Amino acid sequence: MKKILIVVGTRPNYIKVTQFKKVAEHQFSGQFDIKIVHTGQHFDKSMADVFFQQLDIWPDYFLNISQASPNTQMGEIMIRLEKVITKEFQPDIILVPGDVNSTLAAALTAYKLGIPLGHLESGLRSFDRSMPEEVNRILVDEISDFYFVTEQSGIDNLLKEGKPDAKIHFVGNTMIDTLVAFEKPIREQQVMTDNGLEKDNFILMTIHRPATVDNREGLENLVTLFNRIPKNQNLVFPMHPRTLKNIDKFGLKNEFDAIENLKILKPLDYFSFQNLIHNCKMVLTDSGGIQEETTFKQKACLTLRPNTERPSTLEIGSNTLLNFDQDEILKQIERIISGTYKKGEIPKYWDGKATERILEVISEL
């Protein structure tokens, strides 16, 4: 029996590993012993229980690291993860998803302990090293033994960087596995009714990048954009508490309150938020994963960033990269409303079976 340790630290990355134990039990009976470590890099106790209950999977180990600087957090993760590995569970392979600090810390721990390392979402590149996530992605891929790729760009990037073709595995997107597995409960959520929303009659927004919401200029740009969007379009904005705090800090509460068609919601659980994606007219975002979720749902998405590490969502899917050009944003919104915006297609292997492909690769190692 092969022992697999999966390390996650944030909610978006936890969503990428929900199906490993289930697929192992139902399709690879007796072949794998899988344990999940949650580092606590992002851990809100008030949301944790509902999150784990919805996804029907609980971590086997909590590292409970402190909320501190990235260096301090990574140091704590490495120390505590090493104790789990040496005293609790000695894995044959460690899997790390994504590009957060927990991903890099776990990868370094695996490397120093001589344990084979597999990187989920390997090879994604924004080519912008001012982003901490980009540096994390590059460093993790430099010490990985197996590269599990979600899209063609990942293969191309890894080959250009000199990674061996035999170690690169095009498996698809495990985040889509979770969407497929929980499609029924997602559609049954009451978030639309609870907030007086109608299908295809609102724009869903997820804006959280520090460059936009942690300074006065970025927040003022949001106010200007919202005021320029046609008033017959309802704006639904699940807002991070930090953003609300910054709105107060910079004295902009009255400006946001004056936007009549803006509805600010508290942060939502996974099922409720996916329900809103399913029912909205379009999405405005600066998130990475939402570009993939909207592409899978063939839902129009406008990404307010200068770059993306997920080019398949642009080239194949329903996503458009716009930086923060307000005139172009409004032009694309009009195209979506008028029905002339691209529909997009679903990329190869985004079919709910990526987890199965990964375990097939590991079973044959």
Q: How many residues does the chain have?
A: 365
Active-site residue identified among 26, 208, 240, 278: 208
Q: How far apart are the first and last CA of the chain?
A: 12
Copy the structure tokens of residue 115: 């344990």
Sequence-separated contacts (24+) of 312-320 with Cβ below 8 Å: 312/150, 312/151, 312/152, 312/153, 312/347, 313/347, 316/344, 316/345, 316/346, 316/347, 317/291, 317/292, 317/344, 317/345, 317/346, 317/347, 318/294, 318/342, 318/343, 318/344, 319/291, 319/294, 319/295, 319/344
| Distance, CA of 95 to CA of 121 (rounded, Å) | 11
The residue to which tokens 């990674």 are assigned: 163
Find the Cα–Cα–Cα–Cα dihedral 221, 222, 227, 230, rounded to 10°. 120
Look at strands 282-285 and 301-303 and give their pairing: parallel
For the question of residue 208 being annotated catalytic, the response is yes
Starting from the edge strand earliest in sequence, which strands make up the sheet with 117-120, in order?
A: 61-62, 32-38, 2-8, 93-97, 117-120, 146-149, 168-170
DSSP H or E stretch at residue 313: helix 312-315
CB 235 within 8 A of CB 307: no
DSSP H or E stretch at residue 99: none
Active site residues: 208
